[in-house]
Structure 1
Protein backbone atom coordinates (compact mmCIF):
# COMPACT_ATOMS: atom_id res chain seq x y z
CA UNK A 1 0.00 0.00 0.00
CA UNK A 2 1.56 3.29 -1.12
CA UNK A 3 1.30 6.31 1.16
CA UNK A 4 1.43 9.88 -0.03
CA UNK A 5 3.06 12.83 1.65
CA UNK A 6 3.69 16.35 0.46
CA UNK A 7 5.27 17.70 -1.63
CA UNK A 8 3.34 16.11 -4.48
CA UNK A 9 2.13 17.16 -7.92
CA UNK A 10 -1.62 17.09 -8.35
CA UNK A 11 -3.86 17.60 -11.36
CA UNK A 12 -7.10 18.93 -9.85
CA UNK A 13 -10.01 18.38 -12.25
CA UNK A 14 -13.13 20.26 -11.11
CA UNK A 15 -16.30 18.86 -12.67
CA UNK A 16 -18.65 21.57 -13.99
CA UNK A 17 -21.63 20.11 -12.11
CA UNK A 18 -19.71 20.49 -8.83
CA UNK A 19 -18.92 24.13 -9.63
CA UNK A 20 -22.60 24.85 -10.24
CA UNK A 21 -24.05 22.94 -7.29
CA UNK A 22 -21.63 23.74 -4.45
CA UNK A 23 -19.03 26.34 -5.32
CA UNK A 24 -18.12 26.90 -1.68
CA UNK A 25 -17.10 23.27 -1.12
CA UNK A 26 -15.10 23.38 -4.36
CA UNK A 27 -13.27 26.51 -3.16
CA UNK A 28 -12.50 24.97 0.23
CA UNK A 29 -11.17 21.75 -1.32
CA UNK A 30 -9.03 23.70 -3.81
CA UNK A 31 -7.55 25.86 -1.02
CA UNK A 32 -6.65 22.84 1.12
CA UNK A 33 -5.05 21.01 -1.80
CA UNK A 34 -3.12 24.07 -2.98
CA UNK A 35 -1.78 24.69 0.52
CA UNK A 36 -0.43 21.14 0.76
CA UNK A 37 0.89 20.35 -2.71
CA UNK A 38 1.84 21.74 -6.09
CA UNK A 39 -1.43 21.81 -7.99
CA UNK A 40 -2.58 22.44 -11.52
CA UNK A 41 -6.29 23.25 -11.52
CA UNK A 42 -8.39 22.46 -14.60
CA UNK A 43 -12.00 23.51 -15.23
CA UNK A 44 -13.34 21.36 -18.09
CA UNK A 45 -16.68 22.48 -19.47
CA UNK A 46 -17.84 19.14 -20.90
CA UNK A 47 -17.04 15.43 -21.07
CA UNK A 48 -14.75 15.81 -24.11
CA UNK A 49 -12.62 18.44 -22.39
CA UNK A 50 -12.60 16.32 -19.22
CA UNK A 51 -11.14 13.45 -21.27
CA UNK A 52 -8.48 15.67 -22.87
CA UNK A 53 -7.36 17.04 -19.51
CA UNK A 54 -7.07 13.57 -18.00
CA UNK A 55 -5.16 12.25 -21.02
CA UNK A 56 -2.60 15.07 -20.70
CA UNK A 57 -1.98 14.61 -16.97
CA UNK A 58 1.66 13.66 -17.42
CA UNK A 59 3.22 12.68 -14.09
CA UNK A 60 0.64 14.53 -12.01
CA UNK A 61 -1.74 12.56 -9.80
CA UNK A 62 -5.38 13.21 -10.85
CA UNK A 63 -7.78 14.53 -8.22
CA UNK A 64 -11.44 14.63 -9.27
CA UNK A 65 -13.66 17.15 -7.50
CA UNK A 66 -17.21 16.11 -8.26
CA UNK A 67 -19.87 13.48 -7.72
CA UNK A 68 -20.11 9.75 -8.47
CA UNK A 69 -20.59 10.43 -12.19
CA UNK A 70 -17.35 12.41 -12.37
CA UNK A 71 -15.42 9.64 -10.64
CA UNK A 72 -16.95 6.99 -12.88
CA UNK A 73 -16.12 9.07 -15.96
CA UNK A 74 -12.45 9.22 -14.95
CA UNK A 75 -12.27 5.50 -14.18
CA UNK A 76 -14.01 4.56 -17.45
CA UNK A 77 -11.70 6.77 -19.51
CA UNK A 78 -8.56 5.33 -17.91
CA UNK A 79 -9.92 1.80 -18.35
CA UNK A 80 -10.64 2.31 -22.04
CA UNK A 81 -7.15 3.75 -22.52
CA UNK A 82 -5.73 0.73 -20.63
CA UNK A 83 -4.03 3.11 -18.19
CA UNK A 84 -6.05 2.35 -15.07
CA UNK A 85 -3.47 -0.01 -13.56
CA UNK A 86 -0.72 2.64 -13.71
CA UNK A 87 -2.80 5.58 -12.46
CA UNK A 88 -3.77 6.34 -8.86
CA UNK A 89 -6.91 8.45 -8.52
CA UNK A 90 -8.07 10.72 -5.72
CA UNK A 91 -11.49 12.25 -5.18
CA UNK A 92 -13.11 15.09 -3.26
CA UNK A 93 -16.87 14.38 -3.35
CA UNK A 94 -19.01 17.41 -4.19
CA UNK A 95 -22.61 17.12 -5.31
CA UNK A 96 -25.77 15.19 -4.47
CA UNK A 97 -24.98 11.75 -5.98
CA UNK A 98 -22.27 10.46 -3.65
CA UNK A 99 -23.41 6.98 -2.60
CA UNK A 100 -20.68 5.22 -4.62
CA UNK A 101 -17.93 7.45 -3.22
CA UNK A 102 -19.18 6.86 0.31
CA UNK A 103 -19.32 3.09 -0.22
CA UNK A 104 -15.72 3.12 -1.48
CA UNK A 105 -14.58 4.87 1.70
CA UNK A 106 -14.04 8.42 0.44
CA UNK A 107 -14.75 11.03 3.18
CA UNK A 108 -17.75 13.18 2.28
CA UNK A 109 -16.59 16.47 3.83
CA UNK A 110 -14.54 18.74 1.58
CA UNK A 111 -11.80 19.33 4.17
CA UNK A 112 -11.53 15.70 5.27
CA UNK A 113 -11.50 14.45 1.68
CA UNK A 114 -8.86 16.98 0.60
CA UNK A 115 -6.64 16.03 3.55
CA UNK A 116 -7.03 12.37 2.63
CA UNK A 117 -5.83 13.24 -0.88
CA UNK A 118 -2.66 14.75 0.63
CA UNK A 119 -1.97 12.30 3.45
CA UNK A 120 -3.92 9.14 2.59
CA UNK A 121 -2.82 5.78 1.24
CA UNK A 122 -3.44 4.02 -2.04
CA UNK A 123 -5.85 1.11 -1.84
CA UNK A 124 -6.42 -1.33 -4.69
CA UNK A 125 -10.13 -1.96 -5.23
CA UNK A 126 -11.91 -4.61 -7.32
CA UNK A 127 -14.08 -3.60 -10.27
CA UNK A 128 -16.69 -5.23 -12.47
CA UNK A 129 -16.00 -5.01 -16.21
CA UNK A 130 -18.64 -6.14 -18.70
CA UNK A 131 -18.37 -7.55 -22.21
CA UNK A 132 -19.05 -4.12 -23.73
CA UNK A 133 -16.07 -2.66 -21.80
CA UNK A 134 -18.30 -0.95 -19.26
CA UNK A 135 -17.03 -0.49 -15.69
CA UNK A 136 -18.96 -0.80 -12.42
CA UNK A 137 -17.46 0.58 -9.20
CA UNK A 138 -20.17 -0.36 -6.72
CA UNK A 139 -23.11 -2.76 -6.67
CA UNK A 140 -24.73 -3.78 -9.95
CA UNK A 141 -28.52 -4.13 -9.69
CA UNK A 142 -31.11 -5.59 -12.02
CA UNK A 143 -34.52 -4.30 -10.90
CA UNK A 144 -37.95 -5.64 -11.86
CA UNK A 145 -39.30 -4.86 -15.31
CA UNK A 146 -41.16 -1.58 -15.66
CA UNK A 147 -44.84 -1.66 -16.49
CA UNK A 148 -44.25 -1.14 -20.24
CA UNK A 149 -41.37 -3.62 -20.43
CA UNK A 150 -43.25 -6.19 -18.41
CA UNK A 151 -46.31 -5.92 -20.62
CA UNK A 152 -44.25 -6.24 -23.80
CA UNK A 153 -42.48 -9.30 -22.42
CA UNK A 154 -45.79 -10.82 -21.38
CA UNK A 155 -47.76 -10.29 -24.58
CA UNK A 156 -44.86 -10.81 -27.01
CA UNK A 157 -45.66 -7.72 -29.07
CA UNK A 158 -42.69 -6.67 -31.16
CA UNK A 159 -41.79 -2.96 -31.48
CA UNK A 160 -42.72 -2.75 -35.19
CA UNK A 161 -46.14 -4.29 -34.51
CA UNK A 162 -46.71 -1.89 -31.65
CA UNK A 163 -45.93 0.99 -34.02
CA UNK A 164 -48.55 -0.30 -36.48
CA UNK A 165 -51.09 -0.61 -33.71
CA UNK A 166 -50.40 2.97 -32.66
CA UNK A 167 -50.99 4.14 -36.24
CA UNK A 168 -54.30 2.26 -36.40
CA UNK A 169 -55.40 3.84 -33.14
CA UNK A 170 -54.90 7.29 -34.63
CA UNK A 171 -57.34 6.42 -37.45
CA UNK A 172 -60.19 5.08 -35.33
CA UNK A 173 -62.14 6.55 -32.41
CA UNK A 174 -59.97 6.45 -29.33
CA UNK A 175 -60.77 4.60 -26.14
CA UNK A 176 -59.45 5.31 -22.67
CA UNK A 177 -55.95 3.87 -22.38
CA UNK A 178 -55.52 1.09 -19.82
CA UNK A 179 -53.33 1.87 -16.85
CA UNK A 180 -49.75 0.60 -17.06
CA UNK A 181 -49.01 -2.45 -15.00
CA UNK A 182 -46.86 -2.00 -11.92
CA UNK A 183 -43.25 -3.22 -12.11
CA UNK A 184 -43.29 -6.98 -12.00
CA UNK A 185 -41.00 -9.99 -11.97
CA UNK A 186 -38.89 -11.12 -14.87
CA UNK A 187 -37.37 -14.39 -16.01
CA UNK A 188 -33.59 -14.49 -16.22
CA UNK A 189 -30.85 -17.06 -16.27
CA UNK A 190 -28.06 -16.13 -13.85
CA UNK A 191 -24.80 -18.07 -14.14
CA UNK A 192 -21.86 -17.72 -11.76
CA UNK A 193 -18.57 -19.15 -13.05
CA UNK A 194 -20.58 -21.23 -15.52
CA UNK A 195 -22.93 -22.70 -12.89
CA UNK A 196 -26.62 -21.76 -13.13
CA UNK A 197 -27.86 -20.08 -9.98
CA UNK A 198 -31.40 -19.45 -11.26
CA UNK A 199 -32.97 -20.38 -14.60
CA UNK A 200 -35.73 -19.02 -16.81
CA UNK A 201 -38.41 -21.17 -15.16
CA UNK A 202 -38.06 -19.23 -11.87
CA UNK A 203 -39.28 -15.61 -11.94
CA UNK A 204 -37.08 -13.24 -9.96
CA UNK A 205 -37.74 -9.90 -8.30
CA UNK A 206 -34.17 -8.58 -8.22
CA UNK A 207 -30.52 -9.46 -8.83
CA UNK A 208 -27.44 -7.78 -7.35
CA UNK A 209 -23.72 -8.27 -7.97
CA UNK A 210 -21.16 -6.77 -5.57
CA UNK A 211 -17.35 -7.16 -5.60
CA UNK A 212 -16.34 -8.44 -2.15
CA UNK A 213 -12.68 -7.27 -2.10
CA UNK A 214 -11.34 -10.81 -2.48
CA UNK A 215 -11.24 -11.12 -6.26
CA UNK A 216 -14.79 -12.45 -6.45
CA UNK A 217 -18.29 -11.00 -6.48
CA UNK A 218 -21.28 -11.79 -4.28
CA UNK A 219 -24.33 -12.55 -6.42
CA UNK A 220 -27.74 -12.37 -4.75
CA UNK A 221 -31.00 -13.32 -6.43
CA UNK A 222 -34.39 -12.71 -4.86
CA UNK A 223 -36.92 -15.15 -6.36
CA UNK A 224 -40.61 -14.33 -6.53
CA UNK A 225 -42.30 -15.66 -3.42
CA UNK A 226 -45.31 -17.94 -3.76
CA UNK A 227 -47.10 -18.37 -0.49
CA UNK A 228 -44.29 -18.40 2.05
CA UNK A 229 -41.46 -15.94 1.38
CA UNK A 230 -38.83 -17.42 -0.94
CA UNK A 231 -35.28 -17.60 0.39
CA UNK A 232 -32.70 -15.45 -1.44
CA UNK A 233 -30.14 -17.33 -3.51
CA UNK A 234 -26.47 -16.43 -3.13
CA UNK A 235 -23.21 -17.43 -4.81
CA UNK A 236 -19.67 -16.12 -5.22
CA UNK A 237 -17.57 -16.14 -8.35
CA UNK A 238 -15.38 -14.21 -10.76
CA UNK A 239 -17.68 -14.28 -13.80
CA UNK A 240 -21.41 -13.51 -13.81
CA UNK A 241 -23.61 -13.91 -16.89
CA UNK A 242 -27.25 -12.80 -17.01
CA UNK A 243 -29.48 -13.63 -19.97
CA UNK A 244 -33.15 -13.95 -20.86
CA UNK A 245 -35.85 -11.39 -21.52
CA UNK A 246 -34.77 -7.82 -22.28
CA UNK A 247 -33.54 -6.30 -19.03
CA UNK A 248 -32.08 -3.05 -17.82
CA UNK A 249 -29.53 -2.76 -15.06
CA UNK A 250 -28.32 -0.02 -12.74
CA UNK A 251 -24.55 0.38 -12.71
CA UNK A 252 -23.45 3.02 -10.20
CA UNK A 253 -25.11 6.28 -11.27
CA UNK A 254 -26.50 5.13 -14.62
CA UNK A 255 -29.16 2.79 -16.01
CA UNK A 256 -28.08 0.70 -19.02
CA UNK A 257 -29.89 -1.56 -21.47
CA UNK A 258 -32.12 -3.11 -22.48
CA UNK A 259 -29.96 -6.12 -23.30
CA UNK A 260 -30.65 -9.84 -23.58
CA UNK A 261 -27.27 -11.04 -22.36
CA UNK A 262 -24.43 -9.47 -20.43
CA UNK A 263 -21.35 -10.89 -18.73
CA UNK A 264 -19.42 -9.17 -15.93
CA UNK A 265 -15.93 -10.19 -14.79
CA UNK A 266 -14.27 -9.17 -11.53
CA UNK A 267 -10.96 -7.36 -12.09
CA UNK A 268 -9.06 -7.76 -8.84
CA UNK A 269 -7.27 -4.64 -7.61
CA UNK A 270 -7.95 -2.82 -10.88
CA UNK A 271 -8.60 0.62 -9.32
CA UNK A 272 -6.04 2.49 -7.25
CA UNK A 273 -7.84 5.05 -5.06
CA UNK A 274 -6.33 7.22 -2.33
CA UNK A 275 -8.28 6.84 0.91
CA UNK A 276 -7.66 7.88 4.52
CA UNK A 277 -4.76 5.98 6.06
CA UNK A 278 -5.50 3.32 8.65
Structure 2
Protein backbone atom coordinates (compact mmCIF):
# COMPACT_ATOMS: atom_id res chain seq x y z
CA UNK A 1 0.00 0.00 0.00
CA UNK A 2 1.77 3.13 -1.23
CA UNK A 3 1.07 6.75 -0.43
CA UNK A 4 0.82 8.68 -3.68
CA UNK A 5 -0.62 12.17 -3.34
CA UNK A 6 -2.54 14.61 -1.21
CA UNK A 7 -5.40 16.67 -2.59
CA UNK A 8 -5.98 20.38 -2.93
CA UNK A 9 -9.00 21.95 -1.26
CA UNK A 10 -9.86 23.43 -4.68
CA UNK A 11 -10.55 19.96 -6.13
CA UNK A 12 -13.94 19.55 -7.77
CA UNK A 13 -15.92 16.61 -6.40
CA UNK A 14 -18.75 14.55 -7.83
CA UNK A 15 -20.72 13.25 -4.83
CA UNK A 16 -22.91 10.28 -5.78
CA UNK A 17 -25.30 9.28 -2.98
CA UNK A 18 -26.84 5.81 -2.97
CA UNK A 19 -30.63 5.87 -2.42
CA UNK A 20 -30.45 3.24 0.34
CA UNK A 21 -28.02 5.44 2.28
CA UNK A 22 -30.47 8.33 2.02
CA UNK A 23 -33.26 6.13 3.37
CA UNK A 24 -31.28 4.47 6.15
CA UNK A 25 -29.33 7.40 7.55
CA UNK A 26 -30.33 10.72 6.06
CA UNK A 27 -28.65 12.62 8.89
CA UNK A 28 -25.21 11.14 8.14
CA UNK A 29 -25.72 11.88 4.46
CA UNK A 30 -26.56 15.51 5.27
CA UNK A 31 -23.52 15.86 7.52
CA UNK A 32 -21.23 14.42 4.86
CA UNK A 33 -22.64 16.78 2.22
CA UNK A 34 -22.15 19.78 4.50
CA UNK A 35 -18.52 18.91 5.28
CA UNK A 36 -17.67 18.21 1.64
CA UNK A 37 -19.41 21.35 0.37
CA UNK A 38 -17.57 23.49 2.91
CA UNK A 39 -14.20 22.20 1.73
CA UNK A 40 -14.51 21.81 -2.03
CA UNK A 41 -16.60 22.61 -5.07
CA UNK A 42 -19.15 19.78 -5.17
CA UNK A 43 -21.76 18.52 -7.57
CA UNK A 44 -24.24 16.22 -5.82
CA UNK A 45 -26.04 13.43 -7.70
CA UNK A 46 -29.03 11.55 -6.24
CA UNK A 47 -29.53 8.52 -8.51
CA UNK A 48 -32.69 6.49 -8.00
CA UNK A 49 -31.52 3.21 -9.54
CA UNK A 50 -28.33 1.41 -10.68
CA UNK A 51 -28.58 2.74 -14.25
CA UNK A 52 -28.68 6.34 -13.04
CA UNK A 53 -25.83 5.57 -10.65
CA UNK A 54 -23.71 4.22 -13.52
CA UNK A 55 -24.51 7.19 -15.76
CA UNK A 56 -23.59 9.69 -13.05
CA UNK A 57 -20.26 7.96 -12.51
CA UNK A 58 -19.53 7.76 -16.24
CA UNK A 59 -20.21 11.47 -16.72
CA UNK A 60 -17.95 12.65 -13.92
CA UNK A 61 -15.55 14.38 -16.31
CA UNK A 62 -12.62 15.88 -14.39
CA UNK A 63 -14.44 15.74 -11.06
CA UNK A 64 -13.11 13.39 -8.41
CA UNK A 65 -15.85 10.83 -7.55
CA UNK A 66 -17.04 10.44 -3.97
CA UNK A 67 -19.57 7.67 -3.37
CA UNK A 68 -21.78 7.77 -0.28
CA UNK A 69 -23.22 4.41 0.72
CA UNK A 70 -22.51 1.02 2.24
CA UNK A 71 -20.21 -1.84 1.20
CA UNK A 72 -22.54 -2.80 -1.65
CA UNK A 73 -22.26 0.73 -3.04
CA UNK A 74 -18.48 0.49 -2.84
CA UNK A 75 -18.29 -2.87 -4.64
CA UNK A 76 -20.82 -1.72 -7.25
CA UNK A 77 -18.69 1.35 -7.97
CA UNK A 78 -15.45 -0.63 -8.23
CA UNK A 79 -17.09 -3.18 -10.55
CA UNK A 80 -18.44 -0.43 -12.82
CA UNK A 81 -15.08 1.30 -13.07
CA UNK A 82 -13.27 -1.99 -13.68
CA UNK A 83 -15.60 -3.09 -16.47
CA UNK A 84 -15.24 0.34 -18.07
CA UNK A 85 -11.45 -0.14 -17.79
CA UNK A 86 -11.22 3.04 -15.73
CA UNK A 87 -10.45 1.66 -12.27
CA UNK A 88 -6.68 2.13 -12.57
CA UNK A 89 -7.15 5.76 -13.71
CA UNK A 90 -9.78 6.79 -11.15
CA UNK A 91 -8.96 8.09 -7.68
CA UNK A 92 -11.96 7.00 -5.62
CA UNK A 93 -13.28 8.34 -2.32
CA UNK A 94 -15.91 6.70 -0.09
CA UNK A 95 -18.09 8.01 2.71
CA UNK A 96 -19.54 4.86 4.33
CA UNK A 97 -23.20 5.23 5.26
CA UNK A 98 -25.62 2.35 5.85
CA UNK A 99 -25.84 -0.98 7.59
CA UNK A 100 -22.90 -3.02 6.21
CA UNK A 101 -19.61 -1.13 6.51
CA UNK A 102 -17.10 -3.85 7.46
CA UNK A 103 -15.43 -3.94 4.03
CA UNK A 104 -14.86 -0.18 3.94
CA UNK A 105 -13.53 -0.33 7.50
CA UNK A 106 -11.12 -3.16 6.62
CA UNK A 107 -9.69 -1.03 3.79
CA UNK A 108 -8.96 1.81 6.21
CA UNK A 109 -11.90 4.12 5.45
CA UNK A 110 -13.32 5.87 8.54
CA UNK A 111 -16.93 4.90 9.18
CA UNK A 112 -18.03 8.15 10.80
CA UNK A 113 -19.56 10.69 8.42
CA UNK A 114 -17.41 13.61 9.58
CA UNK A 115 -14.13 11.68 9.68
CA UNK A 116 -14.79 10.06 6.29
CA UNK A 117 -15.70 13.38 4.67
CA UNK A 118 -12.59 15.02 6.09
CA UNK A 119 -10.50 12.16 4.74
CA UNK A 120 -11.96 12.87 1.28
CA UNK A 121 -10.75 16.48 1.56
CA UNK A 122 -7.48 16.01 3.43
CA UNK A 123 -6.48 12.39 2.84
CA UNK A 124 -3.93 10.76 0.59
CA UNK A 125 -4.26 8.42 -2.33
CA UNK A 126 -3.15 4.90 -1.58
CA UNK A 127 -2.88 2.06 -4.07
CA UNK A 128 -4.36 -1.20 -2.83
CA UNK A 129 -4.00 -4.62 -4.42
CA UNK A 130 -7.17 -6.34 -5.63
CA UNK A 131 -8.06 -9.74 -7.08
CA UNK A 132 -9.40 -9.84 -10.64
CA UNK A 133 -11.04 -13.06 -11.81
CA UNK A 134 -11.42 -14.58 -15.26
CA UNK A 135 -15.08 -13.51 -15.45
CA UNK A 136 -14.18 -9.80 -15.03
CA UNK A 137 -15.03 -9.65 -11.34
CA UNK A 138 -13.06 -7.74 -8.71
CA UNK A 139 -12.45 -8.73 -5.08
CA UNK A 140 -11.33 -6.11 -2.56
CA UNK A 141 -11.22 -8.19 0.63
CA UNK A 142 -10.88 -11.88 1.43
CA UNK A 143 -12.69 -14.49 -0.65
CA UNK A 144 -13.76 -17.66 1.10
CA UNK A 145 -14.75 -21.16 0.05
CA UNK A 146 -17.30 -22.20 1.18
CA UNK A 147 -19.00 -18.82 1.57
CA UNK A 148 -19.80 -17.72 5.08
CA UNK A 149 -23.35 -16.66 4.14
CA UNK A 150 -25.73 -16.87 1.23
CA UNK A 151 -26.59 -13.63 -0.58
CA UNK A 152 -30.01 -12.02 -0.38
CA UNK A 153 -30.14 -11.91 -4.19
CA UNK A 154 -28.61 -14.41 -6.65
CA UNK A 155 -25.45 -13.57 -8.56
CA UNK A 156 -26.12 -11.30 -11.52
CA UNK A 157 -29.46 -10.09 -10.19
CA UNK A 158 -29.85 -6.35 -9.99
CA UNK A 159 -30.22 -5.40 -6.34
CA UNK A 160 -32.89 -2.85 -7.11
CA UNK A 161 -34.95 -5.50 -8.89
CA UNK A 162 -33.73 -8.74 -7.39
CA UNK A 163 -36.26 -11.47 -7.09
CA UNK A 164 -38.69 -9.87 -9.53
CA UNK A 165 -39.94 -12.03 -12.34
CA UNK A 166 -41.39 -10.90 -15.66
CA UNK A 167 -43.74 -7.96 -15.38
CA UNK A 168 -47.31 -9.11 -15.10
CA UNK A 169 -50.52 -8.37 -13.29
CA UNK A 170 -52.03 -5.04 -12.27
CA UNK A 171 -48.94 -3.94 -10.34
CA UNK A 172 -46.49 -4.55 -13.18
CA UNK A 173 -44.24 -1.62 -13.90
CA UNK A 174 -44.97 0.14 -10.60
CA UNK A 175 -41.30 0.06 -9.62
CA UNK A 176 -40.26 1.57 -12.94
CA UNK A 177 -42.83 4.35 -12.63
CA UNK A 178 -42.11 5.11 -8.98
CA UNK A 179 -38.40 5.43 -8.13
CA UNK A 180 -39.25 5.78 -4.43
CA UNK A 181 -40.85 2.32 -4.53
CA UNK A 182 -37.66 0.78 -5.91
CA UNK A 183 -35.69 2.51 -3.18
CA UNK A 184 -37.98 1.17 -0.45
CA UNK A 185 -37.80 -2.35 -1.91
CA UNK A 186 -34.02 -2.14 -2.00
CA UNK A 187 -33.98 -0.93 1.60
CA UNK A 188 -36.11 -3.88 2.73
CA UNK A 189 -33.76 -6.32 0.99
CA UNK A 190 -30.79 -4.65 2.63
CA UNK A 191 -32.34 -5.00 6.09
CA UNK A 192 -33.32 -8.67 5.72
CA UNK A 193 -30.61 -10.82 7.36
CA UNK A 194 -28.70 -13.05 4.99
CA UNK A 195 -29.56 -16.74 5.26
CA UNK A 196 -26.86 -19.06 6.59
CA UNK A 197 -25.34 -21.30 3.97
CA UNK A 198 -26.98 -24.71 3.92
CA UNK A 199 -25.27 -28.02 3.49
CA UNK A 200 -26.57 -28.20 -0.05
CA UNK A 201 -24.77 -24.95 -0.95
CA UNK A 202 -21.35 -26.27 -0.10
CA UNK A 203 -20.99 -25.79 3.67
CA UNK A 204 -19.46 -29.25 4.24
CA UNK A 205 -16.03 -30.61 3.27
CA UNK A 206 -15.09 -30.02 -0.36
CA UNK A 207 -12.73 -31.71 -2.78
CA UNK A 208 -10.90 -28.93 -4.56
CA UNK A 209 -7.68 -28.45 -6.45
CA UNK A 210 -5.97 -25.22 -5.43
CA UNK A 211 -3.08 -24.04 -7.56
CA UNK A 212 -0.86 -21.06 -6.74
CA UNK A 213 1.27 -19.77 -9.63
CA UNK A 214 0.76 -23.13 -11.33
CA UNK A 215 1.91 -25.25 -8.37
CA UNK A 216 -0.67 -27.47 -6.67
CA UNK A 217 -1.18 -26.59 -3.01
CA UNK A 218 -3.93 -29.18 -2.43
CA UNK A 219 -5.48 -31.70 -4.81
CA UNK A 220 -8.83 -33.43 -5.18
CA UNK A 221 -7.80 -36.43 -3.10
CA UNK A 222 -7.60 -34.33 0.09
CA UNK A 223 -10.93 -32.95 1.40
CA UNK A 224 -10.76 -29.40 2.69
CA UNK A 225 -12.89 -27.49 5.18
CA UNK A 226 -12.10 -24.01 3.93
CA UNK A 227 -10.04 -21.97 1.49
CA UNK A 228 -9.29 -18.26 1.76
CA UNK A 229 -7.51 -15.91 -0.63
CA UNK A 230 -6.58 -12.38 0.41
CA UNK A 231 -4.91 -9.69 -1.70
CA UNK A 232 -1.78 -8.67 0.13
CA UNK A 233 0.98 -6.23 -0.75
CA UNK A 234 3.58 -6.05 -3.51
CA UNK A 235 1.41 -7.90 -5.98
CA UNK A 236 0.91 -11.24 -4.22
CA UNK A 237 -2.08 -12.91 -2.60
CA UNK A 238 -2.04 -14.92 0.62
CA UNK A 239 -3.70 -18.34 0.26
CA UNK A 240 -4.72 -20.56 3.16
CA UNK A 241 -6.23 -24.03 2.86
CA UNK A 242 -7.60 -25.86 5.90
CA UNK A 243 -7.68 -29.63 5.27
CA UNK A 244 -10.28 -31.80 6.94
CA UNK A 245 -8.80 -33.00 10.21
CA UNK A 246 -8.74 -36.70 11.09
CA UNK A 247 -7.91 -37.17 14.73
CA UNK A 248 -5.43 -34.41 15.52
CA UNK A 249 -6.19 -31.03 13.98
CA UNK A 250 -4.58 -30.66 10.56
CA UNK A 251 -2.26 -27.72 10.05
CA UNK A 252 -3.36 -25.18 7.44
CA UNK A 253 -1.50 -25.07 4.16
CA UNK A 254 -0.29 -21.61 3.16
CA UNK A 255 1.22 -20.09 0.05
CA UNK A 256 1.66 -16.76 -1.71
CA UNK A 257 1.47 -16.01 -5.40
CA UNK A 258 0.18 -13.80 -8.19
CA UNK A 259 -2.39 -16.22 -9.60
CA UNK A 260 -4.72 -18.63 -7.78
CA UNK A 261 -6.85 -21.23 -9.54
CA UNK A 262 -9.51 -23.26 -7.75
CA UNK A 263 -11.28 -26.15 -9.48
CA UNK A 264 -13.72 -28.76 -8.27
CA UNK A 265 -17.32 -29.89 -8.47
CA UNK A 266 -19.85 -27.06 -8.16
CA UNK A 267 -18.23 -24.92 -5.47
CA UNK A 268 -19.38 -21.51 -4.30
CA UNK A 269 -17.29 -18.68 -2.93
CA UNK A 270 -18.06 -15.54 -0.96
CA UNK A 271 -16.23 -12.30 -1.68
CA UNK A 272 -16.94 -8.81 -0.38
CA UNK A 273 -20.75 -8.48 -0.54
CA UNK A 274 -21.72 -11.38 -2.82
CA UNK A 275 -21.74 -15.15 -3.13
CA UNK A 276 -20.88 -16.56 -6.57
CA UNK A 277 -21.34 -19.97 -8.13
CA UNK A 278 -21.82 -22.82 -8.35
CA UNK A 279 -18.93 -23.26 -10.75
CA UNK A 280 -16.19 -25.74 -11.54
CA UNK A 281 -13.17 -23.52 -12.05
CA UNK A 282 -12.09 -19.94 -11.43
CA UNK A 283 -8.76 -18.13 -11.60
CA UNK A 284 -7.90 -14.94 -9.72
CA UNK A 285 -4.94 -12.72 -10.57
CA UNK A 286 -3.57 -10.03 -8.31
CA UNK A 287 -4.06 -6.54 -9.68
CA UNK A 288 -1.15 -4.76 -8.04
CA UNK A 289 -2.19 -1.27 -6.95
CA UNK A 290 -5.43 -1.79 -8.84
CA UNK A 291 -7.56 0.32 -6.49
CA UNK A 292 -6.67 3.98 -5.95
CA UNK A 293 -8.46 4.85 -2.74
CA UNK A 294 -8.32 8.05 -0.70
CA UNK A 295 -7.60 7.28 2.96
CA UNK A 296 -6.68 9.37 6.00
CA UNK A 297 -3.10 10.63 5.99
CA UNK A 298 -0.67 9.29 8.56
Shorter-chain TM range is: 0.7 to 0.9
Q: What is the CA-CA distance between 1:5 and the residue it aligns to?
A: 2.4
Deviations 1:160-208 (A, max 9, x none): xxxxxxxxxxxxxxxxxxxx85831010000000000000001001100
The match for 2:233 is 213
Q: Which ranges in structure 1 are unaligned for 5 or more consecutive residues?
A: 147-179
2:122 aligned to which of 119, 135, 156: 119
The match for 2:132 is 129
TM-score by length of 2: 0.80
2:206 aligned to which of 180, 186, 209: 186
How many aligned residue pairs are there?
Answer: 245
Q: State whether residues 144 and 185 of structure 1, in contact with CA within 8 Å, keep that contact through their aligned partners in structure 2.
A: no
The match for 1:275 is 295
Q: State whether residues 147 and 270 of structure 2, in contact with CA within 8 Å, keep that contact through their aligned partners in structure 1.
A: no
The match for 1:265 is 285
CA shift in 2, pair 1:108/1:181, >3 Å = closer
Deviations 1:80-101 (A, max 9, x none): 1111111100000001111110
How large is the RMSD of aligned CA atoms in angstroms? 1.4
| Structure label with greater radius of gyration | 1
The match for 2:163 is none
Q: What is the CA-CA distance between 1:246 and the residue it aligns to?
A: 0.5
Map 1:102-117 onto structure 2 (within 5 A): 102-117=105-120
Q: State whether residues 15 and 70 of structure 1, in contact with CA within 8 Å, keep that contact through their aligned partners in structure 2.
A: yes
Map 1:79-94 onto structure 2 (within 5 A): 79-94=82-97
- Inter-partner Cα distance in structure 2 for 1:181 and 1:16: 35
Secondary structure of the corresponding residue to residue 85 of structure 1: helix
1:250 aligned to which of 242, 253, 270: 270
Secondary structure of the corresponding residue to residue 222 of structure 1: strand
CA shift in 2, pair 1:39/1:242, >3 Å = same
TM-score by length of 1: 0.86
- Inter-partner Cα distance in structure 2 for 1:36 and 1:112: 13
Q: Which ranges in structure 2 are unaligned for 5 or more consecutive residues?
A: 150-197
2:234 equivalent to 1:231: no
- Inter-partner Cα distance in structure 1 for 2:243 and 2:281: 19
The match for 1:152 is none
- Inter-partner Cα distance in structure 1 for 2:146 and 2:83: 27
- Inter-partner Cα distance in structure 1 for 2:8 and 2:145: 41
